């Protein structure tokens, strides 16, 4: 059952038989429907989530009451409010499934125990965060460098499967656009 998670870990560190056996015990496997909330806003952020199947996003509600997607996770990716998780604070983000999903959830308590019991896992998470950190700085660079129209076209070229798969209203806020503007860009592209 935990094959996908273990295969993912194996890509980054060498998995001993002991680790292979013991890792799943630190996680909880969740099968969740579309639009289910895994972690509500204004709660302590005490879990990390790994997507085995499906799609999850993290959104916050802006000053005007509009939901804005700040992060996405498709298969083989992690999601949480990392700052709130690290600082043991309440999050202003809601973590919600976008599609029916299979998720591996780990609590802070179990995460701390996992790293203590199996320090080899430090390297796995170091690489997860190193990659994530780099990717989000690149995303910021795009926001600073390109017009809204260029951001959409660049993104569509780089991640076509993502653009096909994610509902338009969510994709729009993730790219810093309004759904109406994204709709116009898509129509323009088709014509």
User: How far from chain centre, in Å, is Cα 71?
Assistant: 5
Give the residue, chosen from 27, 85, 104, 155, that forms a contact with a second copy under the rule CB under 8 A. 85
- Least separation in angstroms between residue 110's CB and a second copy is 16
User: For the chain, what is the total number of helices (H) and then of strands (E)?
Assistant: 9, 10
Mark 91-130 with x for binding to a second copy (rule: CB under 8 A) and - for no binding: ------------------------x---xx-xx-xxx-xx
Closer Cβ to a second copy, 20 or 127, answer by number: 127
Distance CA 141, CA 70 (A): 15
Contact pattern from residue 27 through residue 66 relative to a second copy, giving x for each residue in contact according to CB under 8 A and a dash for the rest: ---------------------------------x-xx---
Cβ atoms 182, 168 nearer than 8 A: yes
x/- binding map, residues 59-78, to a second copy, per CB under 8 A?
A: -x-xx----x-xx-------
Say if CB 26 and CB 48 are below 8 A apart: no
Backbone phi, psi, residue 5, to 5°: -65, -45
Quick check: 144 binds a second copy (CB under 8 A)? yes
Residues 172-191 that bind a second copy (CB under 8 A): 173, 176
Q: Is 149 in the site for a second copy (CB under 8 A)?
A: no
What is the separation of C-alpha 54 from the centre of its chain, rounded to a whole number of angstroms? 11
The distance from CA 16 to its chain's CA centroid, rounded to whole angstroms, is: 27
State which residue, 94 or 102, has the beta carbon closest to a second copy: 94
Cα–Cα distance measured from residue 43 to residue 81, given in angstroms and rounded to the nearest whole number: 11
Minimum CB–partner distance for residue 108 and a second copy (Å): 12
Classify the phi-psi angles of 76: left when phi > 0, otherwise alpha if psi is within -120 to 50, otherwise beta.
left
Cβ distance to a second copy smaller for residue 31 or 129: 129
Burial 119-136 (b: 16+ CB within 10 A, else e): eebeebbeebeeeeeeee
> What is the closest distance, in whole angstroms, from the C-beta atom of residue 173 to a second copy in the complex?
8
The contact set with a second copy (CB under 8 A) reads 60, 62-63, 68, 70-71, 81-87, 115, 119-120, 122-123, 125-127, 129-141, 143-146, 173, 176
């Amino acid at each position: 059952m935990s094959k996908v998670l273990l295969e993912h870990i194996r890509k980054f560190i060498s998995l001993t038989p002991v680790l292979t056996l013991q890792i799943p015990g630190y996680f909880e496997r969740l099968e969740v429907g579309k639009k289910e909330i895994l972690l509500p806003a204004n709660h302590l952020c005490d879990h990390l989530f790994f997507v085995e199947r499906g799609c999850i996003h993290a959104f916050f509600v802006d000053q005007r009451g509009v939901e804005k997607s700040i992060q996405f996770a498709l298969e083989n990716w992690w999601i949480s409010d990392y700052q709130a998780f690290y600082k043991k604070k309440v999050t202003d983000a809601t973590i919600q499934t976008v599609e029916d999903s299979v998720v591996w959830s780990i609590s802070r308590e179990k995460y701390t125990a996992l790293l203590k019991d199996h320090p080899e896992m430090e390297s796995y998470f170091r690489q997860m965060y190193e990659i994530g950190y780099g990717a989000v700085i690149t995303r910021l660079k795009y926001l600073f460098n390109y017009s809204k129209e260029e951001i959409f076209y660049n993104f569509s070229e780089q991640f076509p499967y993502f653009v096909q798969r994610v509902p338009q209203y969510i994709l729009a806020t993730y790219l810093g656009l309004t759904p109406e503007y994204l709709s116009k860009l898509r129509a323009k592209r088709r014509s």
